[in-house]
Amino acid sequence: ADPTPGLGYEPLQEVATSSAGDVLDREPTEETANNKREMMLVAATEAPEPVYGGLPTPKVSEHMAGVRQAALCALTSLAFASGIALVVPGGGLVGPIMSAAQAVLINVGGLARTWHRRCAGYWGAIASQRQDLVNELLQLLEGVRKQVQALAAELEAAIDGLIEEQRPNLEKMAKHESTIKAVAPDFEVPDPQDLKKPLTVISGFVDTFVEDARVSLPLKLEEQLQSTFLGKLASDRRLFDQCAIQVPVALMLAVNLAIAVAQVLAVAGSAAPTRTAQNATARLLSSN
């Protein structure tokens, strides 16, 4: 609320006005300047990265790396062409063919590098899917073991309840065991704990089976994959690189070299009649 004269607000207003004036007139100290610089640095560091289309905007360094690689290929091609022109002066097809070949090698080399990185990503995805399949099978086996263990625990609890119910009869049989043996020498009082032995055997069998499956299952899966060509392609990194990288790049290199040499020969063939006519005209003029 605005201060009203006569209510005692005048001294407070004067103090507030004088304090604000002192703060505005006060010169910034070195400590204040340092704090301001630190705050600006923290704000710049914690600022979120700009986004475009819901994805982080590519950094300038990534664009510059691509530009530098393209410029390096272009400069290398120009340097090779200039060097070949100096080494092989005059006419002939050796210089143009060598220049075309080195241009093809540089371009296919850059393409091979990019394709190798992409195929490495494909191989990682295939290996991840294969490992996920093994993990799912192992989880299924673990689930079976837990179910068997739960069933064994329920049966053991039921056996314990049955033993408690029959305990008075068992105690009576134990008291009269000597009398009964006099009539039936082969008689023995049964041990209630013997009823749990089959459960222990079953639990041990299931545990052993699951542990063996953890070791043998990946090996069996690998054997099944090795039985077919596609399976080998999905499990053998060397074969994958040969079929997905080396063979396609070699074919591409051969095709591009053939096209480049054919272009050089075609240009040279089309230029030959023109040079022949020019030479004939020059000889005719010189004879006259």
Please give the backbone phi and psi of residue 176, each rounded to the nearest 5 degrees, phi first.
-100, 20
What would the pLDDT profile of 75-104 be if each residue is shown by its tens digit? 666 666 666 656 555 456 766 777 777 778
Please name the amino acid found at residue 250: A
Average pLDDT of the segment spanning 171-185 = 72
Tell me the two tokens of residue 189.
């009082």
Query: Do 103 and 81 form a contact (C-beta atoms < 8 A)?
Result: yes
Tell me the two tokens of residue 56.
């982080």
Query: Do 76 and 82 form a contact (C-beta atoms < 8 A)?
Result: no
- Residue 90 DSSP label: S
Rounded to whole angstroms, the Cα distance separating 93 from 40 reads 65
What would the pLDDT profile of 256-274 be if each residue is shown by its tens digit? 888 888 887 887 766 555 5
Please give the backbone phi and psi of residue 156, each rounded to the nearest 5 degrees, phi first.
-65, -40
Per DSSP bridges, beta strands 55-56 and 51-52 are antiparallel
Phi-psi region of 218 (alpha: psi -120 to 50; beta: other; left: phi over 0): alpha
What would the pLDDT profile of 133-158 be if each residue is shown by its tens digit? 888 888 888 888 888 888 888 888 88
Give me the pLDDT at residue 32, please.
59
- Residue 54 DSSP label: T
Rounded to whole angstroms, the Cα distance separating 288 from 276 reads 19
CA dihedral 54, 59, 65, 66 (to 10 degrees): 30
Give me the pLDDT at residue 107, please.
80
Rounded to whole angstroms, the Cα distance separating 168 from 173 reads 9
Does the pLDDT at position 25 exceed 80?
no
Query: Do 84 and 99 form a contact (C-beta atoms < 8 A)?
Result: yes
* Cα angle: 105, vertex 272, 265; to 5 degrees: 20
Average pLDDT of the chain to the nearest whole number = 71
Report CA-CA distances (Å) from 248 to 100, 117, 119, 122, 253.
20, 14, 12, 16, 9
Give me the pLDDT at residue 279, please.
58
Report CA-CA distances (Å) from 27 to 18, 23, 31, 36.
16, 9, 12, 14
Please give the backbone phi and psi of residue 4, each rounded to the nearest 5 degrees, phi first.
-105, 130
Cα maximum dimension of the chain: 153
Tell me the two tokens of residue 213.
């499956």
What would the pLDDT profile of 209-246 be if each residue is shown by its tens digit? 888 888 888 888 888 888 888 888 888 889 999 899 88
Considering the entire predicted model, what is its pTM?
A: 0.49
Query: Do 134 and 213 form a contact (C-beta atoms < 8 A)?
Result: no
* Cα angle: 87, vertex 91, 96; to 5 degrees: 65
Angle between the 247-287 and 94-175 helix axes, to the nearest 10 degrees? 180
